[in-house]
Amino acid sequence: MKKYSLIFIISFIGIFFLSNSCQKDEHDLGALVAPGNVALNYEIVGADAENPFGDGSGLVNFTATATNAITYTFDFGDGSDKMISASGQVTKRFSITGTIVYNVTVHAVGTGGITSSKSTQVEVLSTFEDTEAVQFLTGGSSKTWYWAYDQPGFAGLGPTSEDNGNAEFTWAAWWSIAANDPAKECMYDAEFVFTKTESGMTYEQTTGPAFIPGTYAGKIGVQGDVCHDQTVAYPLYGVKNVSFAPSTSNASVVGQYRGTTMTFSDEGFMCWWVGASEYDIIEVTDNILKVRIKEDDTYAWYHTFTSVKPE
């Protein structure tokens, strides 16, 4: 009898603490309230009576407001990655050449992830294009590129910061790979296809894995400096749209790069995954493509590709 009484008492205590814990969690979470009064306004840079669709830069400043909103997610309707802003203010460069109407939607996010949305149409002009780069990359139709792994320095790492004052942030000042490095051999069969389309250009990695360096692997909790498949590097495969814009990177100016930024939609990347899709083109010719990609405010990666597959 004492045994059963003890079990009852222990069970009662457990239920009591569980109930209090649940009540505390509910109290900490607070009421789930959807954002209200969502508004989305924009200003096209350079727009005036003579240039109603802007100055050709494609730049648009967006401002979203709402009651009970914690953050805002912007979907620009052009296939590019979404932007997240706690303030509700973002600047977007639309880069499809011509005067294009875009359906832009902002999602105001409240407690518990509850969202309210607002959409608007924006008609904006972009005049920037790099037809020569498109010709080099696609050959005028479709062209396959490869890692230039038979060349020393086909991958490298340098600082993003320009505090040192000696332009080390424009080249792979910290580390440069040796040709045919066996530690990176897992990625050498990767193939990258650029295709010219009626509206611009697409990109697709058709074979090969993703290589994830240790600097980024630690941020996402996977093994670093090894190759991974799509189960880890989820944006690895699939056709991505490519947009071009004038580079705003100081490294591009100081390093005398081409001055063109190439951005892949849907978080696309060229095998080396660091969570970024925007590449400064350093140099592009019929058979050489050199690029710089920022991982964060510390690391900048440098890569060289070739249209002639190494032996």
The three-state secondary structure class of 123 is strand
Structure confidence at residue 262 (pLDDT): 95
Residue 256 banded pLDDT, cuts 50, 70, 90: very high
Q: Of the candidates 93, 126, 159, which is a domain's last residue? A: 126
Q: Are 172 and 157 in contact (CB under 8 A)?
A: yes
Q: From residue 51, how far is each of 44, 123, 246, 267 by CA, in Å?
A: 10, 12, 20, 32
Q: Is pLDDT larger for residue 244 or for residue 6?
A: 244
Note the pLDDT tens digit of each residue in 193-217. Answer: 999 998 889 999 999 999 999 999 9
Structure confidence at residue 30 (pLDDT): 59
**Which long-range CB contacts under 8 A does 228-232 form with residues at least 24 apart?**
228/273
pLDDT at 278 over 80: yes
Whose tokens are 């979203």? That residue is 64
Residue 11 lies in a domain: no
Q: Are residues 137 and 118 in the same domain?
A: no
Note the pLDDT tens digit of each residue in 173-184. Answer: 999 999 999 999
Distance CA 271, CA 78 (A): 23
Phi-psi region of 278 (alpha: psi -120 to 50; beta: other; left: phi over 0): beta
Residue 164 banded pLDDT, cuts 50, 70, 90: low
Q: Are residues 302 and 166 in the same domain?
A: yes
| 240-246 vs 260-264, strand pairing mode | antiparallel
Residue 113 lies in a domain: yes
Q: Are 301 and 292 in contact (CB under 8 A)?
A: yes
| Residue type present at position 96 | I
Backbone angles phi and psi of 299, in degrees to 5: -110, 135
Q: Are residues 142 and 282 in the same domain?
A: yes
Note the pLDDT tens digit of each residue in 129-160. Answer: 899 999 999 999 999 999 999 999 999 999 99
- What CATH number does residue 275 fall under? 2.40.128
pLDDT at 56 over 70: yes
C-alpha angle with apex 200: 195 to 204, nearest 5 degrees?
35
Note the pLDDT tens digit of each residue in 85-116. Answer: 999 999 998 888 889 999 999 999 999 889 99
What number is the average pLDDT over the span 262-276?
A: 96
Residue 18 lies in a domain: no
Structure confidence at residue 226 (pLDDT): 97
Domains identified in the chain, total number: 2
Distance, CA of 246 to chain centre: 17
Helices in 30-182 by DSSP H: which ranges? Answer: 131-138
Q: Are 184 and 121 in contact (CB under 8 A)?
A: no
pLDDT at 257 over 90: yes
What number is the average pLDDT over the span 51-69?
A: 95
pLDDT at 14 over 60: no
Distance CA 294, CA 301 (A): 6
Q: What is the DSSP letter of 80?
A: P
Structure confidence at residue 52 (pLDDT): 96
Residue 12 lies in a domain: no
Distance CA 46, CA 59 (A): 9
Q: Are residues 156 and 302 in the same domain?
A: yes
Q: Of the candidates 98, 126, 154, which is a domain's last residue? A: 126
Q: Are residues 236 and 161 in the same domain?
A: yes
Whose tokens are 């019929």? That residue is 286
| Residue type present at position 75 | D
**Closest among 295, 148, 305 to 214, alpha carbons compared:** 295
The three-state secondary structure class of 49 is coil
| Residue type present at position 118 | K
The pLDDT > 90 percentage for the chain reads 77
Q: Are residues 166 and 283 in the same domain?
A: yes
Backbone angles phi and psi of 283, in degrees to 5: -155, 140
Question: Structural domain of residue 278, as residue ranges?
Answer: 131-306
The three-state secondary structure class of 19 is helix
| Residue type present at position 254 | V
What number is the average pLDDT over the span 275-290?
A: 97
Q: What is the DSSP letter of 240?
A: E
Residues 6 or more apart from 192 whose CB is under 8 A from it? Answer: 144, 145, 146, 203, 204, 205, 206, 270, 271, 305
Q: From residue 139, how far is each of 32, 35, 80, 193, 309 by CA, in Å?
A: 54, 49, 24, 11, 15
Residue 29 lies in a domain: no
What number is the average pLDDT over the span 78-84?
A: 83
What number is the average pLDDT over the span 234-238?
A: 97
Residue 58 lies in a domain: yes
